[in-house]
Amino acid sequence: MILEDLIQPLNKLTTVKEDATLAEALDILEDTGYRCVPILDESEKIFRGNIYKMHLYRHKSRGGDMNLPVTALLKNATKFISIDDDFFTVFFTLRDLPYIAVLDHQKHFYGILTHNHLINMLSAAWNVNTGSYVLTIQANEERGFLVSVAKEITRYCQIANVMTLTPTGSKQLIVTLPEDVTPELFAKITNRLAKKHIQVLHIEDLRQAKL
């Protein structure tokens, strides 16, 4: 349940009951400014799907009956996660949605996890607000490569964060250094990496990015 703190619970959400009309749903969306909200059953335990403002506008512009039940235009009925799902399940289910519905252990609606909350969590984990420099390092398939990189960097400072990416099929290490690393110390680190034939593909100065 590592993402529980990021979940917005039911009692803090705007939702629409499944017996509401399309007109009522549109009023709610226009009043709140949200682009979509969850549709729940009368008991507010069962997640039915989402209703989107854009679909309501399209339906109305085409002369559609706005007195139909909101379920006539529901979307994402199968887009939900369990409160205990692992990070990768959450990430790949949420990536194309503004939010994902979260169900509890009884399969009842618990709340939502928004795309923005997840991105903010990743940003915090990456230490972009408190780091100094980010190194993109070309990784190789040699056993112990990550250990070797960490060993050379930690001669001079701690590592704030490290992650692995494969943007073009080749593996890369993204290493964030802590905020107390000075330009002089950073030069020593990059010189050491070059001496050990560890290829730095890109350097980002986070302090310059914040200016």
Q: Look up the CATH number of the domain holding residue 154.
A: 3.30.70.260
What is the DSSP pairing of strand 131-138 with strand 16-17?
unpaired
Q: Mean pLDDT by 10-residue block, N- to C-terminus, for the chain (211 residues)?
A: 78 96 98 96 97 98 98 96 85 88 95 89 71 91 90 96 75 91 96 95 82 51
State how far the alpha carbon of 152 is from the alpha carbons of 21, 130, 134, in Å.
63, 22, 15
Residues 198 and 104 in one domain: no
Question: Which parts of 62-137 fold into alpha helices (H)?
Answer: 87-94, 115-125
- Token readout for 25 is 């749903």
**pLDDT at site 94:** 87
Q: Is the domain of 23 the same as that of 97? A: yes
Question: Which of 121, 145, 160 delimits the end of a domain?
Answer: 121
User: Residue 66 sits in a domain of what CATH number?
Assistant: 3.10.580.10
At 210 the pLDDT is 56
pTM of the model: 0.71
Final residue belonging to a domain, choices 121, 136, 164: 121
Domain residue limits at 63: 4-121
